[in-house]
Structure 1
Amino acid sequence: MTAAYEYHIGVDYHKSYSHLVVQDSNGRTLRSGRVKNDRQSLSAFLQRYRQNSHAVVEATRNWMVIYDWLDDICDDVVLAHPLKVKAIADAKIKTDKIDATVLAHLLRADLVPEAWAPSETARELRVALRERMFYVRLRTMVKNRIVTVFDRYPEQTAQLKKLGDLFGKAGRVQLAQVKVSEIDRIQIDRGLAFAGDINERIRQSEATIRAMTKANANVKLLKTIPGIGEFFARLIDAEIDDIGRFRTPKKLAAYAGLVPSTYSSGGKTWHGKITRQGNKWLRWAFVEAVAPATVSDPQLRAQYEHLKIIGVNKARVAIARKLLTIAFQILRDQRAYERRGANSEADASTISRLS
């Protein structure tokens, strides 16, 4: 409980420095000042307040660094949700000192809207997964540049597009034979070479991820869900981290932003599009898994086709929500997914609010 702590420390974290405000249990400021972002400076500033203290820092860019430092110095560290803190304590006058003071006051009053601080293992896996996603996005950009060049030669590219994968083995052979200008050929060849280098980086990052999750039982369970392959299984496990922090599938869906926005006024309530707030990586993983899931699982495909009457986007979100619910259940029960009969009408009635 907050009352058990004698010192309440608000930390406004920036790239090269942080502003700290230390308060006592009565809200009186004992020390305030700017500190260089390194372990030694932080420890020296808080030397007199180490015992019986807790601190709060917002989950901003690279929060893990100062969070770990504070965790070594203080008895407890709270990770604050930036958007929710702003909603509670938005101010027209904004300075580092004011921000740190507000955080200290919220901490003292036990009013900090907390964000989840993942375990060190989950953090490390997230870093590895982000690296792979970065390389994949970069490869897509390179491929799009190459396609843009070939689009300047419509008569020739019309034949190439019939190959399916333009960057596969057969596609690359054909690409090398297309007649283009000298500068375009230079751009294309460099792009293909760069894409090849990126492919190697992707393979290396995937090897790192496999090594980190080799003995992970949750990944094996998640892979039994239709549409969830190696990468998505690891991503979902890393982003959820601890399924015990969610009491119900609805709580997990809210965390992933796969719940409809709700408006209520004058005794009337209506639901809009999904909130798109929360963990974007979880939301992306489940939505992307819909296409392969509906191909591989007849029941899910039947439900998807039934829900398409409401709308394609609503159907995708509904199936994504269903996959998330399945993931919650198998992680909670530690039991592999078993296919069951479809219940399309029930799904349509309960999820038609999603858009």
Structure 2
Amino acid sequence: MKAFEYRRVKNDERDAADLADLLRMGRLPEAWIAPPATRELRELVRHRAKLVGLRSHCKAEVHAVLAKCGVTVSMSDLFGVDGTALLDRLRDSAQLPAPYAARIGSLRRVMDGLEFEIEHAAGMVRGRLALHPGYAAVQRIPGIGPTLAAVLVAEIGDIDRFDRPEQLTCWAGLTPTHRESDAHVHRGRITKQGSRLARWAVVESVQILPATTVVGQFRDRVAARRRHNIAVVAAARRQLEYVFYALRDHHVRALDAQPHQHTQRHHQHTDAA
């Protein structure tokens, strides 16, 4: 307990008395321990995320080797159809010096193995979540597919431990820090506490949302007044609130209405005011 760090006398008896006082006042922080099924699901989801990170690292190394050799990559995806054809031509034509070609070949073989392991882990995750009602409901939110939905379901766990969506966004570390003294109020960066993987999932889900969606329109509206990064974080916070209702109620009523209906009601309210 950081509140007790100022004490000059610290022993087990004083520690027990202070903890008892906090418990009596209802101010003793508690931590939720996930059940075995949730911990097993998290293990699979986090393992897949780690494998994807290793694959991305290998891709970056291939790009670095080509840059050393002065090879121009004209396509947007080096590991798509056209990019794979380019790598095959470089291998067959012996345009690259042997050590560089050997490194690229080794990295490609490692990525093939990682691709198999990633698909295997994803299949195990899908099997465990096949009958999960919240998993299907979260995927109905624009921007969230099977992979991001699995991350959110595994990392959040039991949604009933949160009474309000604001508690979920606070747990995920998407709320700004708040420091207040007298009439001075300062709100800083987001806390970034809680699950880093869950925070990444919701931020990733709103990055390329079209403006025709409710969250996409909200993101663009905030971006017009503030910086793009601030708008993305605000949209991610709104997206996580929708995830809360999808997991709790298996339905998000706020997404039933079309964005233009929200805009029309907003203009009517503004005109009336």
Please indicate the TM-score interval, normalised by the length of the shorter structure.
0.7 to 0.9
What's 1:174 paired with? 86
1:243 aligns with 2:159: yes
* Residues 89, 127 of structure 1: alpha-carbon distance in 2 compared, 3 angstrom cutoff: farther
Q: Tell me the CA shift for residue 101 of structure 1.
A: 7.6
Whole-angstrom distance in 2 between the partners of 1:199 and 1:217 = 28
CA contact (8 A) 2:134 2:248 kept: no
Q: Tell me the CA shift for residue 215 of structure 1.
A: 1.0
* Residues 332, 186 of structure 1: alpha-carbon distance in 2 compared, 3 angstrom cutoff: same
What's 2:190 paired with? 274
What's 2:231 paired with? 315
- Per-residue displacement from partner, 1:96-147 (whole Å, max 9, x unpaired)? xx7x888756655536421111121111100010110110011111111111
Whole-angstrom distance in 1 between the partners of 2:7 and 2:55 = 43
Q: Tell me the CA shift for residue 89 of structure 1.
A: 4.0
Whole-angstrom distance in 2 between the partners of 1:138 and 1:102 = 48
Query: For 1:1-355, what aligned pairs fall within 5 Å after superposition?
Result: 85=1, 87-90=2-5, 108-109=20-21, 110=23, 112-154=28-70, 156-157=71-72, 160=73, 162-178=74-90, 179-292=95-208, 294-295=209-210, 297-309=212-224, 310-335=226-251, 338-342=255-259, 343=262
What's 1:13 paired with? none
Whole-angstrom distance in 1 between the partners of 2:162 and 2:151 = 17
CA contact (8 A) 2:211 2:217 kept: no
Whole-angstrom distance in 2 between the partners of 1:305 and 1:267 = 32
Whole-angstrom distance in 2 between the partners of 1:102 and 1:169 = 67
Whole-angstrom distance in 2 between the partners of 1:228 and 1:186 = 38
Whole-angstrom distance in 1 between the partners of 2:177 and 2:210 = 29
Point out where structure 1 has 5 or more consecutive residues left out of the alignment: 1-84, 348-355
* Residues 306, 341 of structure 1: alpha-carbon distance in 2 compared, 3 angstrom cutoff: same
Whole-angstrom distance in 2 between the partners of 1:221 and 1:251 = 20
* Residues 165, 247 of structure 1: alpha-carbon distance in 2 compared, 3 angstrom cutoff: same
* Residues 325, 345 of structure 1: alpha-carbon distance in 2 compared, 3 angstrom cutoff: farther
CA contact (8 A) 2:219 2:232 kept: yes
- Per-residue displacement from partner, 1:194-223 (whole Å, max 9, x unpaired)? 111111110111111111111111100000
Greater fraction helix: 2
Whole-angstrom distance in 2 between the partners of 1:277 and 1:91 = 24
Whole-angstrom distance in 1 between the partners of 2:16 and 2:7 = 19
Q: Tell me the CA shift for residue 88 of structure 1.
A: 3.3
For 2:56, the aligned partner's letter is T
Whole-angstrom distance in 2 between the partners of 1:172 and 1:252 = 42
TM-score, length-normalised on structure 1?
0.65
Residue aligned with 1:272, SS: strand
Whole-angstrom distance in 1 between the partners of 2:3 and 2:258 = 46
Residue aligned with 2:85, SS: helix
Identity %: 27
- Per-residue displacement from partner, 1:5-57 (whole Å, max 9, x unpaired)? xxxxxxxxxxxxxxxxxxxxxxxxxxxxxxxxxxxxxxxxxxxxxxxxxxxxx
* Residues 120, 340 of structure 1: alpha-carbon distance in 2 compared, 3 angstrom cutoff: same
CA contact (8 A) 1:286 1:320 kept: yes
Moved more, 274-283 or 255-264: 274-283
Greater fraction strand: 1
CA contact (8 A) 1:129 1:209 kept: yes
* Residues 346, 270 of structure 1: alpha-carbon distance in 2 compared, 3 angstrom cutoff: farther
Higher relative contact order (CA 8 A, sep 6+): 2
Point out where structure 2 has 5 or more consecutive residues left out of the alignment: 267-273
Q: Tell me the CA shift for residue 228 of structure 1.
A: 0.8
What's 2:270 paired with? none
Whole-angstrom distance in 2 between the partners of 1:229 and 1:101 = 52
How many residue pairs get aligned? The number is 253
